[in-house]
Structure 1
């Protein structure tokens, strides 16, 4: 009989608590305690408006020095972005993750630390003018480099790893971004074993680059993301066609196409579909395309080093050439190169981070193009509440960028079929016919993805719970 169908049994010494992504989308951070051993799954940044950003400075809800080990599902900032702060405040355990995630996390954390130091310097200059207290960065470059020392040997998909006494972990391909994983914990409290599955962020099946997510194995408890738990995605072929249409129409009216892009996965996906569009004649081959994101450039290079994460068809494409390469493609690392792009008034495609427009080089490109009716802003990813991207998508007539009020006159495209997150149907398909004792719903908007998925599971006779922040739940 599987663990998931045994008679319910309360374990004496196992608890679960959620310290991020509780009734919200970002800040993923989960703590499992088993016989006094404490294992953290993810430690991500809160992203969104000022309230979410301020949460990054608040207490973790646990003592970082008490954590025995950290398991990292993937390298997105909302899953790994608080690790340097965790180490600075006392964490000294090993960090387990896949090889690809370790490489990407290095790029992401160093970039984040640099941006935070830069933001702190800007705020200091402003504070001096206004006689206000200065704000310290959440962590520094030194903190980020120190945190990277704790990443241990790379974990391969399918291997069972001894994490600490009474805790073993198996990483399963989540199909979300390069190296992403769901994590199955086997917990032994001395009285018996309990299996707890963390979905991490799950990818959409049928994508051209990565493999489909590994279906959920049997587990007593499941912690599941619900980013799109309330709706289906648009079919991918329709989304690709709309991307090509947006490019064609904008180029015909001599405007620029600005694509706010997450550096990990989304940038590579969009490059791939632009490449296919040029190959198929759907968009002109002469268009200059700028990948204006040092992190995305580095991530694209890392992609080429990890074929173990790719789907079979994409591996074959790699053998026939570079599926990211195009005649007019330019990688821009230096800030001077990025600034020069702003002199182009029309006829270019510009991919720049961040995807939610709350920072990074895309803000400069928005400032120079958002007010132009010839240009287009094409959103191809999730935009959390409170972010600049969400305000533009929701129809704001003007937005503030670098203390300037910019009118929104460009054509706005929102193409949700490119999402790296599973939609409602794919989440339910991943869970399959499993019937765990309880599913904990996290990483979603409370009134949308979480509540909708709660109802879906109830219809299947599966108990679920939406944990509150820092709530401790005995298993």
Structure 2
């Protein structure tokens, strides 16, 4: 019998990591992600790998976001030598994301040790190094969508387009135990059915066990037309106040989509007054990677860019300014009004967005617009929940900027779309819900039972099931 143990993203949104064990494939991790929220150095130091990394035979990675991939260097550091299976585009994005995360982590660690040295405290050793990142990347084995490949002595895997970010995959894993074939489908993160740039998530119909994300299991998104109208109203109101707009954004996926939407607004003549800044070296690199993988993206959206006589997402928005260097980033602070600033990180746990907060969050003329999910214990969630004061860089800041949330820009399927995707399976299959907070998990479970008579299982961290 196969055993599935949940070591992350169980009754929580981040830290996706699930251990599958069977004689048919050995010991395989589905994702190896980082928990997000709090201080980066403390967070990584507290991350655990509650299994022997040396005994893991392989990793099957759904996509490159750090909450699904961020513990890979730690896994390698502690002895993992197997292959990391992922899609071809994920390999490119993974290099970008893991290198960037390592740079931020090691810089934060250096600053923490300067403070420890001054206070006479012991210095903290790095939990992993850049060499571990490089080794993890060398262990990556890319696969195309639709390609079936062997994993272990009696198991096969096929990746299908999840429509979440470039290279994101639904994992279809079939194993044979004692002449019985069983199929596990792991959704990874499912994209919206109407997302720009991304294709709709692939529809599968056969599974014995479906492990499905439930990030937005308790709500439905507003339509993209309504969301764009709301963004237009926010921009107009902020312009009239003489302010600026700050948009925290994930470097991969959300940034490229918001640039596309801003490009559409520009093509209609609605952004001519604004200066737009992409203040994230990683997001700039990721946007250029999206240009390289145009053939994987939604053809209608790509054709829209091409019909406008532009060959890339970046060119589609000509009043976009890309800030790569620190000096270019700091120069944005001299702009008093009329700037749209897109910067990482998406949940405000680090990155340049916090420096823009330092200069602007205390000013009521400005607006702060959230376009993605904010996990518990992140600065973004604290702000969305209405905090009037926040702490950054050892100082207290009053929050006077207008806080806005535009759920229609989310890269995740909403409650109705999740239920619809699951409804295509014959059977129905056994269903396990992961990657969601308790309220979202409960709401989606209730909907699936009421409408499809599917009884869902909601595992806790460390819990195992047999199938």
TM range (shorter): over 0.9
Instruction: Give the alignment of 1:48-447 within 5 angstroms.
Output: 48-49=37-38, 54=43, 57-152=46-141, 154-283=142-271, 285-320=272-307, 321=310, 322-325=312-315, 326-434=317-425, 435-446=427-438
* Alignment match, 1:454: 445
Cα distance, 1:134 vs. partner?
2.9
CA distance in 2, matches of 1:324, 1:245: 24
User: For each residue in 1:15-62, what CA deviation from the matched residue of structure 2 results, as whole angstroms up to 9, or x when unmatched?
Assistant: 111111011110001111111611111100001246996476343121
Which deviates more from structure 2 when the two are superposed, residues 295-304 or residues 161-170?
Answer: 161-170
TM-score (norm 1): 0.93
CA distance in 2, matches of 1:176, 1:224: 14
* Cα distance change on mapping 1:137 and 1:347 into 2, 3 Å: farther
CA distance in 2, matches of 1:290, 1:462: 46
User: For each residue in 1:292-337, what CA deviation from the matched residue of structure 2 results, as whole angstroms up to 9, or x when unmatched?
Assistant: 0011001000001112321120231243324433232111111121
CA distance in 1, matches of 2:302, 2:338: 32
CA distance in 2, matches of 1:189, 1:91: 26
Which deviates more from structure 2 when the two are superposed, residues 336-345 or residues 108-117?
Answer: 336-345
How much is the aligned-residue C-alpha RMSD, in angstroms? Answer: 1.7
Cα distance, 1:437 vs. partner?
3.9
CA distance in 1, matches of 2:402, 2:249: 17
CA distance in 2, matches of 1:87, 1:183: 22
CA distance in 2, matches of 1:464, 1:49: 31
* Alignment match, 1:44: 33
* Cα distance change on mapping 1:41 and 1:147 into 2, 3 Å: same
* Cα distance change on mapping 1:19 and 1:51 into 2, 3 Å: farther
* Alignment match, 1:9: none
SS of the aligned residue for 2:201 comes to coil
* Structure 2 gaps, min length 5: none
Cα distance, 1:433 vs. partner?
4.0
Which deviates more from structure 2 when the two are superposed, residues 291-300 or residues 158-167?
Answer: 158-167
CA distance in 2, matches of 1:308, 1:195: 29
Matched, 1:474 2:461: no
Which deviates more from structure 2 when the two are superposed, residues 246-255 or residues 79-88?
Answer: 246-255
Aligned residues: 460
Cα distance, 1:112 vs. partner?
0.4
Q: Is the 8 A contact 2:41 2:109 kept in 1?
A: no
User: For each residue in 1:255-300, what CA deviation from the matched residue of structure 2 results, as whole angstroms up to 9, or x when unmatched?
Assistant: 11110011011111111111111111233x1422110001100100
Cα distance, 1:217 vs. partner?
2.7
User: For each residue in 1:349-371, what CA deviation from the matched residue of structure 2 results, as whole angstroms up to 9, or x when unmatched?
Assistant: 11000011010000000110001
Cα distance, 1:444 vs. partner?
0.4
Q: Is the 8 A contact 1:203 1:420 kept in 2?
A: yes
* Cα distance change on mapping 1:256 and 1:138 into 2, 3 Å: farther
SS of the aligned residue for 2:192 comes to coil
Q: Is the 8 A contact 1:43 1:80 kept in 2?
A: yes
* Alignment match, 1:463: 455
* Cα distance change on mapping 1:307 and 1:97 into 2, 3 Å: same
Q: Is the 8 A contact 1:15 1:33 kept in 2?
A: yes
* Cα distance change on mapping 1:232 and 1:82 into 2, 3 Å: same
TM-score (norm 2): 0.95
SS of the aligned residue for 2:321 comes to strand
* Structure 1 gaps, min length 5: 1-12
Q: Is the 8 A contact 1:286 1:327 kept in 2?
A: no
